[in-house]
Amino acid sequence: MKKIILDNSEKIIQEKTKLEKELNVKISIKNNEICIDGLSENEYFAEKAIDAIDFGFSIKKAILIKKKNLMFEILNIKNYMRGKNIVRVKGRIVGEGGRALMTLSQLSDCYIEIKGNQVGIIGDPENIEHLQNAIIMLIKGSKHANIYSFLERSHPEPILDFGLREIKKKS
């Protein structure tokens, strides 16, 4: 049995039955303390999903942690800042009208949320690592275009040939 203490458990209370069904655990809520009971693997995924929901992700995206075997990571912006203007740095990450955040999300195949001085990321472990490096570069002042090209280069190429075709011999 795992216990989690949350800031705001309203979302969890509203969607308790859906979460229990999707995550295969029993959830009991008392004030802001949530107890998760189930198999240890299911408890782990439920804990990560509940942490993601508490961070600000939608329940649909948080459940993907278990369904697609994704991870949830938090990156603290202040750990990588040189100056003191946190608003400016967060503005660089979000971009005008949220375009930079959307582009980062699309290029990395990850879901991104910002809460306070932290960036929450849900995605494949390798993609999360590349996205964290890109966000750190952005915090330190790199140009957006350089960040986007870094993410494009780090994205694995799809395998188009599975070795099922016969190779034609040259005569």
pLDDT in tens, 110-119: 999 999 999 9
Non-local (6+) Cβ contacts of 116 within 8 A are: none
pLDDT, tens digit (0-9, with 9 covering 90-100), for 21-75: 999 999 998 888 999 999 999 999 999 999 999 999 999 999 999 999 899 999 9
Give the type of residue at 157: E
pLDDT of 6 reads 84
CATH code for the structural domain at 2-67:
3.30.1370.10
Task: CATH 3.30.1370.10 in the chain: give the residue spans.
Answer: 2-67, 71-154
pLDDT of 167 reads 66
CATH fold, domain 71-154, is Ribosomal Protein S8; Chain: A, domain 1 (3.30.1370)
At 30, list the tokens: 């008392």
Cβ burial of 82 (10 Å; 0-12, 13-18, 19+) is: exposed
